[in-house]
Amino acid sequence: MNLKNVIKFTRSRSLENAAVVSVLLLIYNFIFPIHSNPIVSLVNEVLVFLTIFFIYNYISPYTELRKDAPLSLVLNAGILGALVFFVISLANSAIGDGNSIKSDTGAVNTLFTTVLNYIFIIVLAYIFSTFRTLYYLRQKKDQSLYFNTMLFFFVMTFFSEFANFSSSLDFIHDAFFIVTIVLISLNSLKVSWIAFLTKKQKLYLLLISIILSILFGFNFGLLNESNVIKMILFKLSVGLYTVFSLVMIYGMIYFGVIFFTTLFHLPTAEAFDRRSEEISSLMDLTKLITQVFDFKELADSIINFTTKICNSNAAWLVTISEDGIEVTAVNNIGYVEARLAAELFLKDSVKGVYSITTADEIDERFNFRTVAVAPLNVHNKLSGYLFTARLSEVDFDKDEKNTLQTYADYASVALENAKLIAESIEKERLEKELDVARDVQRKILPVNFPVSDNYELSALFIPAFEVGGDYYDFFELSDNRLGFIVADVSGKGISAAFIMAELKGIFESLAKIVNSPTELLIKANEILKDSLDKKNFVTAVYGILDYKNGIMKIARAGHTPIIYCSAGKISRLLPKGIGLGLDYSAKFENSLEELEINLKDGDVFVIYSDGIPEAKNSMNEDFGYDRFENIISSNCKKNLDGIANEIVKEITLFSKDHTQHDDITLVIIRWSS
Amino acid sequence: MADFNVGLRDAGSVSIVELKGYLDAHTAPELENIFNKLIRENKFKIVVNFNQLNYISSAGLGVFMAYVETMRENNGDIKFANLKENVYNIFDLLGFPLLYEFYKDENEAIQKFNEPGKS
Same domain, A246 and A290: no
Q: Answer yes or no: do B99 and A539 touch at CB < 8 A.
A: no
pLDDT at A436 over 70: yes
| Alpha carbon distance A129, A123 (integer Å) | 10
| Alpha carbon distance A175, A166 (integer Å) | 15
pLDDT tens-digit series, residues A328-368: 888 888 888 888 888 888 876 667 788 888 767 667 778 88
pLDDT at A206 over 50: yes
The pLDDT, as a whole number, for residue B53 is 92
Which of the residues A466, A490, A536 would you substitute to probe the B interface, choosing the one with the greatest number of B C-beta atoms within 10 Å?
A: A490
| Alpha carbon distance A558, A540 (integer Å) | 7
Confidence of residue A181 (pLDDT cuts 50, 70, 90): very high
| Alpha carbon distance A567, A233 (integer Å) | 126
Lowest model confidence (mean pLDDT) among A229-238, A513-522, B23-32: A229-238
The pLDDT, as a whole number, for residue B118 is 46
| Alpha carbon distance B42, A76 (integer Å) | 93
pLDDT at A213 over 60: yes
Domain count, chain A: 3
Min Cα separation B94/chain A (Å): 4
Nearest-by-CA chain B residue for A624: B86
Lowest model confidence (mean pLDDT) among A484-498, A599-613, B96-110: A484-498
| Alpha carbon distance A394, A389 (integer Å) | 10
- CA B13 distance to own-chain centroid: 15
| Alpha carbon distance A268, A252 (integer Å) | 26
Name the β-bridge partners of A376: A384
3-state secondary structure of A104: coil
Question: Under 8 Å CB-to-CB from A84, ≥6 apart: which residues?
Answer: A120, A123, A219, A248
| Alpha carbon distance A632, A562 (integer Å) | 12
Q: What is the CATH number of the domain that holds A453?
A: 3.60.40.10
Average pLDDT over residues B25-38: 90
615-634 in chain A: CB under 8 A from chain B: 622
Question: Is A576 domain-assigned?
Answer: yes
Min Cα separation A490/chain B (Å): 5
The pLDDT, as a whole number, for residue B1 is 46
Domain span holding position A661:
448-671
Average pLDDT over residues A512-518: 92
| Alpha carbon distance B26, A466 (integer Å) | 14
The pLDDT, as a whole number, for residue A96 is 64
pLDDT at A300 over 70: yes
Residue B97, chain A, CB below 8 Å: the answer is no
A533 and A570 Cβ atoms separated by less than 8 Å: no
The pLDDT, as a whole number, for residue B119 is 45
- Burial environment of residue B85 by CB neighbours within 10 A (0 to 12, 13 to 18, 19 or more): exposed
Select from A492, A536, A578 the Cβ nearest to the Cβ of B94: A578
Q: What percent of chain A has pLDDT over 90?
A: 32
Question: Is A639 domain-assigned?
Answer: yes
Which of the residues B69, B98, B100, B102 would you substitute to probe the A interface, choosing the one with the greatest number of A C-beta atoms within 10 Å?
A: B98
pLDDT tens-digit series, residues A619-655: 888 898 999 999 999 888 888 999 999 999 999 899 8
Same domain, A518 and A621: yes
The pLDDT, as a whole number, for residue A103 is 63
A188 and A254 Cβ atoms separated by less than 8 Å: yes
Residue B37 host element (H or E): helix B28-40
Q: How large is the ipTM?
A: 0.90
Same domain, A233 and A286: no
Residue A583, chain B, CB below 8 Å: the answer is yes
Question: Is A434 domain-assigned?
Answer: no
| Alpha carbon distance A630, A112 (integer Å) | 118
Task: Give phi and psi for A669, each to the nearest 5.
Answer: -125, 130
Same domain, A284 and A355: yes
Confidence of residue A114 (pLDDT cuts 50, 70, 90): confident
Q: Answer yes or no: do A578 and B58 touch at CB < 8 A.
A: no
A520 and A510 Cβ atoms separated by less than 8 Å: yes
554-573 in chain A: CB under 8 A from chain B: 557-561
Question: Is A667 domain-assigned?
Answer: yes
Residue A265, chain B, CB below 8 Å: the answer is no
Select from A533, A535, A582 the Cβ nearest to the Cβ of B95: A582
- CA A154 distance to own-chain centroid: 50
CA distances from A563 to A39, A598, A604 (A): 122, 16, 8
Same domain, A96 and A241: yes
| Alpha carbon distance A313, A370 (integer Å) | 10
Select from B66, B93, B98 the Cβ nearest to the Cβ of A534: B66
Same domain, A316 and A241: no
Question: Is A441 domain-assigned?
Answer: no
A206, A238, A266 - which closes a domain: A266
Cβ contacts (< 8 Å) between B72 and chain A: which residues?
Answer: none
Q: Which of A450, A454, A455 is nearest to A476 (CA)?
A: A450
Name the β-bridge partners of B21: B4, B53
Which of the residues A535, A591, A660 would you substitute to probe the B interface, choosing the one with the greatest number of B C-beta atoms within 10 Å?
A: A535
- A324-331 β-sheet, strand order: A324-331, A314-321, A381-390, A370-378, A354-357
Residue A655, chain B, CB below 8 Å: the answer is no
| Alpha carbon distance A73, A126 (integer Å) | 10
Q: Answer yes or no: do B98 and A492 touch at CB < 8 A.
A: no
A524 and A541 Cβ atoms separated by less than 8 Å: no
Confidence of residue A561 (pLDDT cuts 50, 70, 90): very high
**What are the residue ranges spanned by the domains of chain B?**
4-75+89-103
More confident residue, A127 or A227: A127
Same domain, A262 and A286: no
Nearest-by-CA chain B residue for A562: B93
Cβ contacts (< 8 Å) between B95 and chain A: which residues?
Answer: 557-558, 576-579, 582, 591
Residue B45 host element (H or E): strand B45-56
Instruction: Find the angle CA(A467)-CA(A471)-CA(A476) to the nearest 5 degrees.
Output: 150
Residue B53 host element (H or E): strand B45-56
The topology under which CATH files domain B4-75+89-103 is Transcription Regulator spoIIAA (3.30.750)
The pLDDT, as a whole number, for residue A267 is 85
The pLDDT, as a whole number, for residue A165 is 60
Confidence of residue A523 (pLDDT cuts 50, 70, 90): very high
Question: Is A428 domain-assigned?
Answer: no
Residue A251, chain B, CB below 8 Å: the answer is no
Residue B8, chain A, CB below 8 Å: the answer is no
Mean residue pLDDT of chain A comes to: 86
